[in-house]
Amino acid sequence: MKRLNTATPDFEPAFAALLDEARETTNRVDGVVAEIIATIRAHGDAALIDYTTRFDRWAPTAPAALRVTSAEIEAADASIRPELRAALNLAAERIEAFHRAQLPRDLEMQDSAGLTLGMRWGAIDAVGIYVPGGKAAYPSSVLMNALPARAAGVPRIAMCVPTPDGALNPLVLAAAKRAGVTEIFRIGGAQAVAAMAWGTASIGAVDRIVGPGNAYVAEAKRQVFGRVGIDSIAGPSEVVVIADADNDPRHIAVDLLAQAEHDESAQSILITPDATLADAVAVAVEAELRHLPRAAIASESWARHGAVIVVRDLAEAATLTNRLAPEHLQLMVAEPRTLLAQIRHAGAAFLGRFCPEAVGDYVAGPNHVLPTGRTARFASGLSVFDFLKRTTWVEADEAALVAVGPAAVALAEAEGLTAHARSVALRLGG
Ligand X SMILES: NC(=O)c1ccc[n+]([C@@H]2O[C@H](COP(=O)([O-])OP(=O)(O)OC[C@H]3O[C@@H](n4cnc5c(N)ncnc54)[C@H](O)[C@@H]3O)[C@@H](O)[C@H]2O)c1
List of residues contacting ligand X (CB under 6 A): 32, 55-56, 132-136, 138, 141, 162, 188-190, 212-214, 216-217, 234, 236-237, 262-263, 266, 368-370, 372
Q: How far is the CB of 257 from ligand HSO (least distance, A)?
A: 12
Q: How far is the CB of 215 from Zn ion (least distance, A)?
A: 17
- Which residues on neighbouring strands pair with residue 331, listed in sequence order? 242, 351
Is 96 labelled a binding residue? no
Q: How far is the CB of 320 from ligand HSO (least distance, A)?
A: 21
Is 345 labelled a binding residue? no
Helix, strand or coil, per DSSP, at residue 166: helix
Residues with catalytic function: 327-328
Contact 179, 211 (CB under 8 A): no
What does the binding site for Zn ion look like in residue numbers (CB under 5 A)? 361
Contact 428, 404 (CB under 8 A): no
Output 96 or 261, the one with its CB closest to ligand X.
261
Q: How far is the CB of 201 from ligand X (least distance, A)?
A: 20
| Options 136-144, 164-172, 247-255, 285-293: segment touching ligand HSO (CB under 6 A) | 136-144
Interhelix angle 170-179/139-152, nearest 10 degrees: 10
165: left (phi over 0), alpha (psi -120 to 50) or beta: left
Is 237 labelled a binding residue? yes
- Which residues on neighbouring strands pair with residue 121, listed in sequence order? 390
Say whether residue 379 binds ligand HSO (CB under 6 A). Answer: no
Query: Rounded to an integer, what distance in angstroms lies between the CA atom of residue 310 and that of residue 308?
Result: 7
DSSP 357-370: HHHHHHTSSS-S--
Say whether residue 361 binds ligand HSO (CB under 6 A). Answer: yes
Output 158 or 175, the one with its CB closest to ligand HSO.
175
Query: Rounded to an integer, what distance in angstroms lies between the CA atom of residue 319 and that of residue 298?
Result: 27
Strand 116-123 to 388-395 pairing: antiparallel
Is 102 labelled a binding residue? no
Output 183 or 361, the one with its CB closest to Zn ion.
361
DSSP 153-202: T-SEEEEE---GGGPPPHHHHHHHHHHT--EEE---HHHHHHHHHH--SS
Say whether residue 39 binds ligand HSO (CB under 6 A). Answer: no
Is 274 labelled a binding residue? no
Is 216 labelled a binding residue? no
Query: Rounded to an integer, what distance in angstroms lies between the CA atom of residue 416 and that of residue 116?
Result: 28
Output 141 or 247, the one with its CB closest to ligand HSO.
141
DSSP 187: -
The residue within the footprint of ligand HSO, chosen from 150, 221, 368, 374 (CB under 6 A), is: 368
Q: What phi, psi does 70 have (nearest 5°)?
A: -65, -30
Say whether residue 345 binds ligand HSO (CB under 6 A). Answer: no
Output 235 or 273, the one with its CB closest to Zn ion.
235
Say whether residue 268 binds ligand HSO (CB under 6 A). Answer: no
Which residues are known binding-site members for NAD(+)? 130, 191, 214
